[in-house]
Amino acid sequence: MRSFLERPPLAQKSKVAIARGESYGEAERAVRRAVELLGGIGKICKRGDKVMIKPNMIYASKPEDAETTHPAVVKAVVKLCREAGASSVKLGEQTGWHCDPELSFTVTGLKEAALAAGADEVVNWDNDEYVTVDVPNPRSFARVMLPKSLMDADVIIHLPKMKTNAVQVATLGIKGWIGALHNRMRTFIHKNALDNGFSTTDVVKALGSKLKLTLIDGIEGMEGSGPHAGLVCHPKVIIASQDVVACNAVTCKVMGFHPLEIPATQVAMKDGVGTADLDEIEVLGERIEDVIYPFKRAVNQYVSRYPNVREFVGGACQGCFWTFPSLPPHVDPQKKYALVAGARALIGDDLGSYDEVHLIGICACAPSHQLPGFKERVGRAKRIVTHPYCPGYNTAVHHHEKAEAKGDVFEVPDLLLGDMCALWAVPDVTNQDKMDAALSRKENRQSLEDVRHAAEQYYGPELLASSRPALWPMTPLKEMAKWQDAVEGPEPAPTKITFVENSDGAGLRTATRALNGRAPSPGETAD
């Protein structure tokens, strides 16, 4: 059989260790076993080394939700580094979705576990200085902005969670490095799996030889609608390697996926980061076939659940598809809605009968390259809402681009994104509590006060009150905007793109101008 790549086989096989852990009470034993199989902690960390450990901490979720790296795994790794004589051991991470990292470090138990095991510091990368790092053999970024505390380390250890991901099949060892990128660089690399794969591979290449170990927490995992709204499962394994690509490949095999199914794995292998060819990998400890645990996939839902919301597409990418279950933010059962996406949107129906048409993404908002008659068909709608961003799902991330919604619930940016994640997969692979809560907000059955109450039940009122003002259950849009302006400077003003019918792409360039920090003036085309 032909190899995946036309290149000579590796002179030496990469090693991947698999250790069983029936529960988190056995986490330290399993972590130690996996590291010993790779040659011991001395092969990874030497006396005097400065160590940075990065967990997966996407959100302020409790350990039992299986959304983040379990604190028992972090504790075990910190202990090993201390035993090796590391001069300093730090834990560093940031969260997504405007969530307060300090709250996340507390709720996940990661801060307490790391400090109890002997870590010197837990670093909130939101507050860190960022440095520019060159990327060798770059794909998407010639340079990346990474936390200074990360790049000051001699040894970097990554602790991903074994879980599915609607963008990249599974998160694991490469995709998880999106968490180290400065937020300004993260926005545009979720358009589809390949965009994400190229970009996160660049981050791994920038880390270079500092990345000494990838150790995946699979004692409990998340299957189905990951990374946020999936189902807890129990693979009962720790998988570790000094080759992040090999670690991805073996973990995918254990999860019931093809070793090369994650695009980032293919890109990283071609760029020489490591190997995903199982013939070039020596598996130590447990055999793959003895620990296979088939994960439910994140099966995307491509159409709205509501009969009064219809979709019209043509040439749309995955980023725009993700918005379909979550737009419009509020659904009025008495209204008729249309969602239009793609560079060649095919619209067979008469949109004059629709109360509201949502144009999703740059392609639909700037129709100079659309099929003849697009402007006229769309223009017959009673109301047009534009989402002039690419990918389209950024309308859920960036609160200043949100569609108008009834009530105050969707003035809260985290709810827009969290609810999108709870609705973008079919129900039987989704956490029903998260889906039901998202639908209650969409259908205007839950108020912001209800949201606050639910958050107090989950976090406790004292912890919730101590978090930064940007936390979604406590602070509506206007306060979030004030905080963001103070930290990052004001966002460009939202704009609605004027239709431009011509053949030179002026409409597309006009729409793109909104991404470059300046909103076009009404009627403006391109230079």
pLDDT at 216 over 70: yes
Residue type, 378: V
Structural domains of the chain, ranges and CATH numbers in brackets:
14-291 (3.40.50), 309-446+492-516 (no CATH)
Q: In sequence order, which residues have a C-beta less than 8 Å from that of residue 98 and are 6 or more positions away?
A: 413, 414, 470, 472, 480
Q: Which two tokens stand for residue 274?
A: 């490591």
Q: How many CB atoms lie within 10 A of CB 1?
A: 4
In this structure, the dihedral spanned by the alpha carbons of residues 74, 76, 82 and 86, taken in order and rounded to 10 degrees, is -50
- Nearest by Cα to 312 from 330, 336, 296: 336
Q: How far apart are CA 428 and CA 149, in angstroms?
A: 41
For the segment 374-384, what is each residue's pLDDT rounded down to a tens digit? 988 898 999 98
Q: How far apart are CA 357 and CA 354, in angstroms?
A: 7
Residue 437's DSSP bridge partners are: none
Residue 163's DSSP bridge partners are: 222
Residue type, 256: G
For the segment 247-279, what is each residue's pLDDT rounded down to a tens digit? 999 999 999 999 999 999 999 999 999 999 999
Size of the chain in residues: 527
**Coil, helix or strand for 412?**
coil
Determine the pLDDT at residue 497.
35
Rounded to an integer, the average pLDDT of 505-512 is: 35
pLDDT at 181 over 60: yes
Q: How many CB atoms lie within 10 A of CB 415?
A: 23
For the segment 118-150, what is each residue's pLDDT rounded down to a tens digit? 999 999 998 999 999 999 999 999 999 999 999
Determine the pLDDT at residue 448.
73
214 vs 492, higher pLDDT: 214
How wide is the angle at C-alpha 284 spanned by C-alphas 289 and 271, nearest 5°? 95
**Coil, helix or strand for 449?**
helix
For the segment 30-73, what is each residue's pLDDT rounded down to a tens digit? 999 999 999 999 999 999 999 999 999 988 899 999 999 999 99
pLDDT band at 322, cuts 50/70/90? confident
Q: How far apart are CA 524 and CA 169, in angstroms?
A: 41
Burial of 121 (0-12, 13-18, 19+ CB in 10 A): middle
Angle between helices 71-83 and 27-37 (to 10 degrees): 50
pLDDT band at 193, cuts 50/70/90? confident
pTM listed for this prediction: 0.88
pLDDT band at 195, cuts 50/70/90? confident
What's the Cα-to-Cα distance from 251 to each of 107, 162, 213, 275, 279, rounded to whole Å?
27, 8, 14, 13, 15
- Nearest by Cα to 476 from 397, 415, 385: 415
pLDDT band at 287, cuts 50/70/90? very high
Q: How far apart are CA 141 and CA 133, in angstroms?
A: 10
Helix/strand/coil percent split, the chain, to 5? 40, 15, 40
123 vs 444, higher pLDDT: 123
C-beta contacts of 445-450 below 8 A and 24+ residues apart: 446/409, 447/407, 447/408, 447/409, 448/407, 448/408, 448/409, 448/411, 448/412, 448/476
Percent pLDDT > 90 in the chain is: 60
